[in-house]
Structure 1
Amino acid sequence: MIADPFFWIGTGVCAVSLVICLIAAATKRYPGDAAILSVAAVELFLLVFGVGAIVRQAGGDHVRGEAWEFWGYELTALVLPIAAFWWAILDRSRWSNVVLAAVPITVFVMLFRMEQIWNGAY
């Protein structure tokens, strides 16, 4: 299985976001702009990823696994950063950074699974 560039870009975005959020949690700070914007970058990537998947499918590159499963992962991944953002806004504590840090980890796992579904590797 050869991963496409979207997967590698997503991995990089998730890794940077994770480091920023963990540093914010380790310094015992409330969620600042850097942590929140890093999770927003993950959301922006997921939006671009979704548009790219639509364009690829329209161009004839079909999902080799179950399409409903791929789009289910995509839609669920899109909801996670939004939920974590609201959590961080409503609970201005150090632990909100940990919640924000859970987003890039979870999104990375979901990206990995979406890559497997797209290429048909189970």
Structure 2
Amino acid sequence: MILWLTLAQVAVAVVAGLFCLVAGFAGRRPSDYTVGALALVELLLVVQVVVAIVAPLAGNPPTGDLLEYWVYLVSAVLLPVGAVLWALMERSRWSTVILGVAALAVAIMVWRMHVIWTIQIA
């Protein structure tokens, strides 16, 4: 993984998560802004998928368990999609809170993926 990309993903996911949590606790229903914040998180995760495919070919192999890394990555990619689908089906303030929780979970998962890729020794 690339450190600056990881830090950017974590920062965007935390900001999106906090934004959605504040909006949800303020009583706001899901809007273009909250769903768009999760869409940005999802876009960065798709970039991470491409990086995860290209990095080993470019001489940056993972030091940890590759299966564990991919399980985290696939789960992280599916999490915002599921949260947005939930928010679109049940348009309440709690759906906005779920968007925030999903974004914060993605931030934690991305950092864990970075640890698996760079720090652990298989």
Identity of aligned residues (%): 35
4+ aligned runs moved over 2 Å, structure 1: none
Unaligned segments of structure 1, at least 5 residues: none
TM-score (norm 1): 0.92
TM-score (norm 2): 0.92
Structure 1 position 103, deviation (Å):
1.2
Contact (CA 8 Å) 2:21, 2:101: kept in 1 or not? no
Contact (CA 8 Å) 1:13, 1:42: kept in 2 or not? yes
Structure 1 position 90, deviation (Å):
0.4
Contact (CA 8 Å) 1:18, 1:104: kept in 2 or not? yes
Unaligned segments of structure 2, at least 5 residues: none
Higher RCO (CA < 8 A, seq sep 6+): 2
Q: Which residue of 2 aligns with 1:94?
A: 93
Count of matched residue positions in the alignment of Structure 1 and Structure 2 = 120
RMSD (CA atoms): 1.4
Distance in 1 between residues matched to 2:32 and 2:67, nearest whole Å:
35
Question: What is the 5 A alignment of 1:26-65?
Answer: 26-65=25-64
Distance in 1 between residues matched to 2:4 and 2:52, nearest whole Å:
12
Question: In the alignment, is residue 110 of structure 1 matched against residue 104 of structure 2?
Answer: no
